[in-house]
Amino acid sequence: MPQRIQLSPSLMTMDLDQFKEQISFLNDKVNSYHVDIMDGHFVPNLTLSPWFIEQVKKISDVPLSAHMMVTDAPFWVSRLIEVRCDAICFPSEAANGVAFSMIDDIHAAGLQAGAVLNPETSIETVLPYIDLLDKITIMTIDPGFAGQRFLEGTLDKIVRLRQLREEHGYGYAIEMDGSTNLKHWKMISDAGPDIYVIGRSGLFGLTNNIEDSWNQMTREYEQSTGFPFDNGIHHRAEQSGEAR
């Protein structure tokens, strides 16, 4: 049956020379923005930072979700709390011994707490605190770089997380991150995540114009899944218009 999805473009994969133009176009079309924070140790790459989040907030009121790929997770959690990042997602592999304190600090600040599972990491890793999480992100590629091979077996985790949520009444949203594009829309949709992180292969790299890329992305989603594209944004716009 048709489903409503949430879309979270990965700002790491934007064209930085068109940054303001792309953000301005997407602000009334997406549900959140995905911001990768990498320290060069947890993964061999350096990308965005809490400072970058402050800059985005100057031109957007769309919720921001930080995906940390860092070894010192508590340090980065405190920096992201300072800049009021709406959702702060820590790597489950780096949370042993500090998960509960990080979640408590994030919630005390009135923000959402999430955990990220890399392809080799099992759901069992987050079971001790799964009832406290607002979001769980499933990596469908190896972390650290865009454009890596899609790992179809990771979709089983999405299915299991949905089952656990239904069985126990957990409140987390399920997010997938990695290689969301025409080739994989259907199998991802069948697994049923709530939030789709989308990057160069599915949006920013489709054309040289963000509006054309957006239109192509929605066509590809519909072509692949057989569903009309619906992320709820136009419904909110219609309701706002009726209210006026």
Catalytic residues: 36, 177
**To 10 degrees, what angle do helices 50-57 and 73-82 make?**
20
Burial 180-201 (b: 16+ CB within 10 A, else e): bbbebbeebbebebbbbbbbbb
Burial 116-151 (b: 16+ CB within 10 A, else e): bbbbebebebbeebbebbbbbbbbbbebbebeeebb
